[in-house]
Amino acid sequence: MTTRPAAISRALTAAAAALALVLSAAACTTPDEPVAPGAKTGIPAATAAPTPALAPYYAQKLDWKKCGALECADLRVPLDHAAPDPSTDLTIKVARVKARDQAKRLGSLLVNPGGPGASGIDYVRGGAETIGGPEVRRYYDLVGFDPRGVASSDPIDCLDDKALDRFLAADPTPDTPAEEQVLMTEAKAMADGCQKDNPELVKHLSTADAARDMDILRAAVGDTQLNYLGKSYGTFLGSTYADLFPKRVGRVVLDGVVPPDLTSAELGEGQARGFQIATQAYVEDCVKEDCPLGSTPAAALKGLDDFFTQVDQKPLPTGDPSAPLLTEGWARLGVAVALYDQGSWSILTDALKEAKAGNGQSLMQLADAYAGRRPGGGYDGNLMESIFAVNCLDRPDSPNLSAYEKYAKDFSAKAPTWGANLAWGALPCGVWPVKSAVGPHQVHAPGSEPIVVVGTTRDPATIYEWSKRLRDQLDNAVLVSYDGDGHTAYGRSNSCVDSAIDAFYVQGRVPEDGLTC
Query: Does one domain contain both 322 and 445?
Result: no
| Residue 359 belongs to some domain of the structure | yes
In a domain, 512, yes or no: no
Find, among 147, 204, 207, the residue nearest to 440 by Cα: 207
Residues 396 and 455 in one domain: no
pLDDT at residue 38 in the model: 73
Picking from 431, 457, 482, the residue at the C-terminal end of a domain is 431
- Quick check: 425 pLDDT over 60? yes
What is residue 8's predicted lDDT score, i.e. its pLDDT?
A: 42
Regarding whether 323 and 396 lie in a shared domain, the answer is yes
pLDDT of residue 438: 84
The mean pLDDT of 220-242, rounded to a whole number, is: 97
Asked if pLDDT for residue 4 goes beyond 80, the answer is no
Mean pLDDT on 68-87: 97
Instruction: Say yes or no: 238 and 375 in one domain.
Output: no
Provide the number of structural domains found in the chain.
Answer: 2
What's residue 46's pLDDT?
75
**End position of a domain, from candidates 401, 431, 461:** 431
Residue 153 has pLDDT above 50, yes or no: yes
| 413 & 447 share domain | no
Q: Are residues 70 and 188 in the same domain?
A: no
In a domain, 97, yes or no: yes
The pLDDT of residue 9 is 41
d(CA 299, CA 306): 10
Range 365-371 average pLDDT: 96
Residue 29 pLDDT more than 60? no
Q: In the predicted model, what is the mean pLDDT of residues 452-471?
A: 97
Q: Say what the pLDDT of residue 2 is.
A: 60
Q: Which residues are catalytic?
A: 232, 459, 487
Whether residue 358 sits in one domain with residue 287: yes
For the chain, the average pLDDT equals 92
Instruction: Identify the H or E element spanning 71.
Output: strand 70-77
In this structure, are 343 and 420 located in the same domain? yes
Whole-number pLDDT of residue 437: 73
pLDDT at 365: 97
Residue 139 lies in a domain: yes
151 plus 161 within the same structural domain: no
Average pLDDT for 253-280:
98
Same domain, 276 and 131: no
CATH of the domain at 122: 3.40.50.1820
- 333 and 347 within one domain: yes
pLDDT score of 409: 98
Q: How confident is the model at residue 27 (pLDDT cuts 50, 70, 90)?
A: very low
Q: What's residue 5's pLDDT?
A: 43
The whole domain housing 190 covers 157-200+265-431
Is the confidence at residue 385, as pLDDT, over 50?
A: yes
| In-domain check, residue 116 | yes
| Inside any domain, residue 303 | yes
Residues 260-269 have a mean pLDDT of 97
pLDDT in tens, 36-55: 887 666 677 777 899 999 99
Could you tell me the CA-to-CA distances from 299 to 167, 278, 296, 304 in Å, in that order? 31, 16, 5, 9
* Burial of residue 278, with CB atoms counted within 10 A of its CB: 0-12 exposed, 13-18 middle, 19 or more buried: buried
Residue 277: is its pLDDT beyond 60?
A: yes
Exposure class string for 170-186: b at 16+ Cβ within 10 A, else e: bbbbbeeeeebeebbeb
Same domain, 375 and 403: yes
